[in-house]
Amino acid sequence: MPQPSPASKWLSSPASYLALGLLATLILLITSGLLPVKAKAKSPAPLHSTTMMAFNPYPMMVHPIRIGLTVRSPMARVAVWQQGAVFVDGRPIFVLKPGLVYAITPGKITELATGTAVAIPYDRRTVVSAPDFRVWTANRWYRGCLEIINMPSYVTAVNLLDLEEYLLGVVPSEMPSSWHLEALKSQAVAARSYAYAHMGSGSKWKSEGFDLVPDVRDQAYKGLAAEAQSTFVAVHATRGLVLKDSGQVKPGFYRATVGDSEFENLNIRKSVVSQSTMEKITGVKDIVGVTVRQWDGIGNAVRVAVMGTKGGREVDGIALAKMLNFSTPGILDVHEEGNNWVFTCRGPGNGSRGLSQHGANKLAKGGWRFDQILQQYYQDSDGKLRLDFMPGYHAMSAARPMHLHKPAPKKTVNYTKGPLIETAPQPQQQGEKEKEKETVKDDTNFTP
């Protein structure tokens, strides 16, 4: 007769009945919810996890334009308004949290609040973006996304966005948004023409990987904080329009009245004059300062103050430029470098005078339309200047000629003496209010 196994003996014992009863009771309590069970806590996702909604890092663009914001710097600080990511070759590798600042240095990105860092490869297409296409760098918020040029010794942060959205941050940075709408429209066309003519192969910055810079060397561009309703209307009312001469886009050079200086966007040249030459020409010994005191309506320096250790004098700017063999009397700025004086001057040509912003506002108040204002400042003697649409705006593409008649002004205006001058009103636009509030924020406590 076979012997029963140990398992069989245990199952037939009273102890087995007690154990099975307790197990059944426990299962009943758990399934009924009377005995809560604490779930095992999930480990938090790492900082560089890509567990986020996928999105295209590039905004919709008809004419992409690249603005160099932080150029050849050891570090670029970035942030996003919504949760975003760092993309390498189109693949997200690093989640960016809203409200935090990240430092991009050669080869890595670091969350400043925690010090956590992730490597990013060199010589790869690296993009900082968010679904709302609002990005922060160089202490400003911008539309679009950021392309990061990541090199072993430096990084460059480039704002990539559509040309029309770029203009939303340019026009109010260059002209007070409280000015007449027709003047703002003329500024929008001039700025668009300048930008389009200097994109891609036409850019002096192409070797750096971008088209323009956001300051005096090209056009003032102050991003989202500068935007205003009136300039938004001006940009959209002239959407796609540029100046063309003999079929080619004509750079819209102009004399600025708002922004970082008085000479935004002009065809700028620099000339170096020795201290001894300046002393000989001006008759002032031991010169310690040279300052432009007054410009005329087309940007010519008419009064220049020369200061020496034992006194100084004021000289005629036009005569001074001629004696120094400058191509034009458009002296915009002077500063000292060692034993030399460096003159920043407006170059010749490119629509001769360019747009006078004060004059444009004066004409707009006199009843002129924006296309008539542009004709006043950019039309050459051959009469070939036209307003036309950029490629990509074919639904509106028929070139239309500039209006050659001038409306009867609402007040007396002398058209024979060139651009008109008036004192700029105190800007009251949104951008100015934002600028007053603008402060440098602590990196680790950044609030968008």
> What local confidence, expressed as pLDDT, does residue 415 receive?
29
Least confident of 133-137, 311-315, 368-372: 311-315
Confidence of residue 365 (pLDDT cuts 50, 70, 90): very high
Residue 446 pLDDT greater than 60, yes or no: no
pTM check: above 0.85:
no
- Residue 126: helix, strand or coil by DSSP? strand
β-pairing verdict for 340-346 and 268-274: antiparallel
Higher pLDDT, 428 or 387: 387
pLDDT of residue 116: 92
Q: How far apart are CA 220 and CA 259, in angstroms?
A: 6
What percent of the chain shows pLDDT beyond 90?
44
Q: Side chain identity at 63, as an amino acid letter?
A: H
pLDDT digit string (tens) for 374-407? 988 887 767 788 899 998 775 443 333 333 333 3
Give percent of the chain with pLDDT exceeding 70.
Answer: 69
Average pLDDT, integer, range 112-132: 93
How would residue 57 be classed by pLDDT, with cut points 50, 70 and 90? very high
Distance in angstroms (rounded) separating the CA atoms of residues 96 and 85: 5
The confidence score (pLDDT) of residue 216 equals 78
Residue bearing the bigger pLDDT, 202 or 427: 202
Do the strands 145-150 and 155-162 form a parallel or antiparallel pair, or are they unpaired? Answer: antiparallel
Residue 446: exposure state from Cβ atoms within 10 A (0-12, 13-18, ≥19): middle
Tell whether the model's pLDDT for residue 443 goes beyond 50: no
What pLDDT is stored for residue 34 in this prediction? 54
289-292 long-range Cβ contacts below 8 angstroms, 24+ apart: 289/336, 290/334, 290/336, 290/341, 291/334, 292/317, 292/331, 292/332, 292/333, 292/334
| In contact, 389 and 139? CB cutoff 8 Å | no
Q: What single-letter amino acid sits at 261?
A: S
Which position has the higher pLDDT, 265 or 370? 370
Lowest-pLDDT choice from 19-33, 114-128, 376-390, 421-435: 421-435
pLDDT tens for each residue of 211-243: 999 987 899 999 998 999 999 999 999 999 999
Q: What is the mean pLDDT of residues 3-18?
A: 63
pLDDT averaged over the chain? 77
Residue extents of the structural domains in the chain = 64-163, 167-256+353-413, 268-346
Cα→Cα distances 388→16, 161, 368, 395, Å: 94, 22, 19, 12
> Bigger pLDDT: 345 or 224?
224
User: For 69-93, how does the pLDDT look when each residue is reduced to its tens digit (9 = 90+)?
Assistant: 999 999 999 999 999 999 999 999 9
